[in-house]
Structure 1
Amino acid sequence: MSRGILLVGCGKMGGALLAGWLHQGIAASDIIIVEPNPVPDLPAGIRQAKAAEAIPADFSPALVMLAVKPQVMDAVAPAYAAYAGRGACILSIAAGKTIATLNRLLGCKAAIVRAMPNTPAAVGAGITVCCSNADVTSDQRAFCGNLLAAVGEVAWVEDEELIDAVTAVSGSGPAYVFWLAECLAAAGEKAGLDAALADRLARATVSGSGLLMRQSPDNPTQLRKNVTSPNGTTQAALDVLMAADGLAPLMERAVAAAAKRSRELAG
């Protein structure tokens, strides 16, 4: 199959994927981006079209990635119906936009993969969960998986409704972790630390713990136990965080709210 890629939208996530593809060895000549705004530090050899009408007529991509915000998907997607009609796989990373919605916008029977990446893709440490419709071939599924693996781990689900929960856990999850770092730094400052040192401690603790969790064979429960001495300082803090009204029910409500919003974005 052809390996041409049409990347529609080159914001933070689109840019991270583009960098990952080039690092993976995909030729710049096989990629065209569609982005109306100037792209800073656009890699050499990458062609940019300001709009769908400006794409060279002889470019026949195997895959069209829709990396635009869900709020503009209704206006953007129909311009790429011709590529879907000619057999290109459509890969969407827009939160909330279902496969059925994309099929309707494209106005044809299309091979569609819906995916939810997350922002650690910018440093090659992301995770993306995908779901495809029955029109996606095994080759197209493998191609999509390889492209997304350029920025981290990839998993697949068969039930599309699970993408809303995925969005709430891993798609939005980095913001929860960043907020944890903010709160930890603020608490350290209230305990008497200099603001700069508190920020440094929070950043290093959160990022270092994440790296340890990624590389360790132990699960998070065991890692937590490893650092918790009976009746020690960590246990005193965990008695607060693990109370009936502590972090667990708060996180459940947060994830439920994000999943609900994902469903609402489907329209």
Structure 2
Amino acid sequence: MSRTALYTDLSGYYDLMCADINYQAQSQSLQRLHQIFGNRGTRHLDLACGTGPHVRHFLDAGFDSSGLDINQPMLDLAAKRCPEARFTLQNMCDFEVDAPLDLITCFLYSLHYCDGLANLKACIGRVHQALGSGGVFSFNAVDRLKIDNSSSVSHSASQDDALFWFRSGWHYGGEGERQSLRLHIERHHQGDIEFWQDEHPMVAVTFAELEALLDPLFEVHIFEHDYDKILPWDQASGNAIFVCVKR
């Protein structure tokens, strides 16, 4: 099953797939970082917004929030969750906005969905163009050289008398600019089991390479991947939060 077909067919289950994510903590963490590094503005865009849970928390915090995604069924669900927000069907590597923004976010490692370094560079350029003076771009990322192919996360959730089991993990072949997110889903219902297997192609990058792409356009700050505390990156962990202030 292709990536598009998987997310179209299972868009109604996407929130279950992410049921273990603390969207509020993630949103509040980047709001705090925006208060420290940003221009105090409230115009916000969430890249790869999915069904809009992060946008919901930004709206509730007083932001003029919007979102974009490449999957229309996801955006339809986001519009129901956040009827006051603006959602557009756009690719984050080639998007446009109607006015300068103060904060652009990209959660859940979604920046890696840029397929290849050329597209990643294009995305960074688009973000820079879309931000106003003192605007902030914040996202989380994984360093390709620190990916453990044997590691994965899993959880289960229930919906409509069915039990779902989700497992996902990074995979990197050891060279090149391609990594993947491997996803396995099971649906158990009345003795029947359905399976979905999918592998999402994603861009592989080291933090040094990523910082080099960002540095000409942004003042870059890197923090530990901890949404409860603001801690400088320890130069060792393979996950980090980037806060980039427009030059």
State the TM-score, normalizing by the size of structure 2: 0.41
More helix by proportion, 1 or 2? 1
Higher strand share: 2
